[in-house]
Every structure is written in structure tokens, then in C-alpha cells.
Copies of this chain bind each other. A is one copy, B any other.
């Protein structure tokens, strides 16, 4: 309720600050009996981890996850799974001056005004470091959804600053530090090098998808699957826009082209992004998000201090020149968490989704649409 728990049936409560002793989360509601170990979670954490290329922050955190509860003899017990990640490379001395000033584009001002106090070390609670526990929780959701439905979650960068990134193949994504679906990323690297030298930052666009989606996920009227995805994505640090399917392009489309035709073997197009009336249709979920340029830059900015005096702010410390670069595994995780929640909700009200294909009324089994 105070905004640090994501989900209700698969509820992830996040805690910690960038430079506190540890960060982590508690997952409540995980189905029992699934095999789970730290190794199942560490892979996605490593994809998000800082310090892995010269294009991201040089903070060196192993982000090693520890399972504190909820697993017995290698299997989930249905009780809360507490995940702990120690902070090891805090350098709070870098942030001394920041405690008295508000960085433009940053949460400094609003945290101060809301709470009358804020932890300025590394951005405190507003740091993107707090996405790490979500990536961990998302890995748990992904594993269950993969085992139960064969679901696949994938993401990639489709634009960085002015550079649109063509989709060549999912295979390229793990091979470069940008999560770009293209073979040759030298242009992106050169672009980022120039930007870093200029002491500036840029935005990015990320695409994230889910495949083998069960039909029937999402609730009218408000907890529509697309509404929940929009909530999850817009809650990621620095996200300023979210599209489902055709997104803004749908404004200029005609009803005769936008509405995806249906045939006995499946949908012909996917302008809907896999969601009709707020409920999953079995098509791939298609989501696109805009990430703003990093606020923490070394170029001087005009601002005020906590006494309302004008100041010039220069943000030192170690920051990502494009926070979008590490956003791909985060967006995947958030999408997985939304889907997981709605799988559980759906079987609460409607029974297990897998059995829908066998309903006598349903002559067109779900499988034919996947």
C-alpha cells in the first residue's frame, strides 16, 4: 500500500537503499513444489549487474543473491521467499554535497518535500539499484511460467538516442552490452563514447515481449493486463512512456486495419499487442517503453539547495550515461511479474487456465493460437 510491494497474489515486497548494508525482497505467494536455488536467480541478476562494460556505471557489485526462507530441500514451500543481496561497493563520500542540493531531473527534490528527510547516498531509495531485487523476483516468476506454460520472456533495445536499432535476431542480444538485436554494435559504441566524453546522457527505447501466453489473463475493468503492464513499466526508474502493440501508431490507423483479423488458425496481425479488452488473447505480448536520459551527469546544471538558494549542480560519482542500457532485463522481469500475478488471479476465479482448451464450448483450443 505504501508502494513497496508489487503484486497481490504473487506479492514482491522490496526493501533497501543504494548504499545501505543490503537490498532485497520478499516474495509471498509463490506456488509450492517448484525447484529453486540461487543459481536459478543469479543469471538474470548478472545480466543487469553494473560494471560489466565501459558503457555502464563502474560500481562493482557482485549482486550475489541469498535465499533466506521459503525453500526447503531445494523446493519452494509456498511460504515467503526472502532474497538478500549485500551492498559491497558503496562509496558514500562521493555524495556529500548532494545532500544539500536537488539534482535536476532527479527525485531529490520530491523525496525531500514529501518526507522531510532523504537518504542522499547513491540516490538512497530512488536509486535504480533497487531494480535488482525485482530482477531476482522476476527470475522466480519466469521459471514457474516456463515450466508450467513454456512461456518465454525476451527484451531488446530498439533505439538509443537518435539511433534506431534494426531487429536482426534475438540471438545477437546476449552478445553485446546494449541488448541490441543486431550483430554489429560499433556505431552504438562510438555514439556512447562521444556522449560520455561530452559529459552528457541520452535516452533509449526498449521492447519487451512474452511468448506462449495463456489466454484469459487480465481483469476488467481496471486490472486489465495492459493497464497492469503500463503500471509495471512506468514504475521502472526513468521510464516516461509505454506502448502496447501498435501504441501511438494506432492514432493514425483505421479500424479496418488496426483490428487484427482472426482465422481458424489464429490472428493475422498483432496490432493489439496480445491483449483485447484488457485480457490476453494468446498472441505474444508486445510492449515498448521510453527511457529518459540519465539525470546524474557531470555537466553543470542550474538548481537550488534545500534553503532555496540557487546553486550549480555537478553530479560526480559513478553513473550510467544511458540508464536504458541495463533496462532490458528489468523490463522483462516486470513483465514476468505481471503475468505471474494474473495467472494466479485467473485460476482463483476461473480455475486453471490450462484446462480452458478442454472446455466443450471452446472448439478452438488455445494451442492453435500460439
Contacts and interface: CB of A to CB of B under 8 A. Distances in A.
A281 B256 CA distance: 42
Interface string A229-258: 111111100011111111110111111101
Interface stretch (A49-57, A168-176, A216-224): A216-224
A262 B109 contact: yes
A188 to B, nearest CB: 14
A255 B201 contact: yes
Contact of A290 (B126, B162, B250): B250
B250 A293 contact: yes
Residue among A2, A159, A216, A292 having the largest count of chain B Cβ atoms under 10 Å = A2
A260 B291 CA distance: 16
Interface size class of A (residues with CB under 8 A): 35 or more
Contacts of A88: none
A216 B258 contact: no
Nearest to A359: B116
A248 B246 contact: no
B82 A6 contact: no
Closest 5 CB pairs of A and B: A107-B277, A105-B259, A3-B219, A201-B255, A114-B216
14 contacts: A1-B28, A4-B221, A17-B69, A20-B69, A32-B349, A77-B124, A104-B261, A107-B220, A110-B279, A113-B279, A117-B361, A223-B235, A227-B230, A264-B309
